[in-house]
Amino acid sequence: MSLPAKLPHPPRYCIDEKMTEKDWKEYFANREKYDQPVSREETEKLLIQAAKLLDNKDEKEFNEVSSRIPALPAWALAVKDARGFKMISDWNLYDAKKMFPNEF
C-alpha cells in the first residue's frame, strides 16, 4: 500500500507522536477496514452488543464490535489532537472524516 500524496493535519497537542511509514500504512489500512457508514439503528445494535460483551468481560470481541461504531466527529478530533493518530487508528472515523476531511 502506498501513502496518499497529502497526509492529514498533525495532532495539535500530541507533539511526541512520531509516525513512521509503517505506522502510516497501518493507519490507512485501518481506514479502509473500519471507516464504513453505519445507520443509526445498526449503531444502536452495536452499542447494545458491545455493552453485553463488556459485561461478560470479553475484551477481544468488545474491541472488534466497538471499532465498528462510528466515532463522534468532535470526540475523534479531540482525541487525535490530544493523543495522536495511533490512539484512533482502530476507530470508525467515517463520520469524522466527512466533517473534518483534512484531519483524518
d(CA 27, CA 81): 16
Report pLDDT digits (tens) over 44-94.
Answer: 999 999 999 999 999 999 999 999 999 999 999 999 999 999 999 999 999
Which pLDDT band, with edges at 50, 70 and 90, does 15 fall under?
A: confident
Report pLDDT digits (tens) over 78-92.
Answer: 999 999 999 999 999
Burial 16-52 (b: 16+ CB within 10 A, else e): eeebeeeebebbbebbeebbeebeeeeeeebeebbee
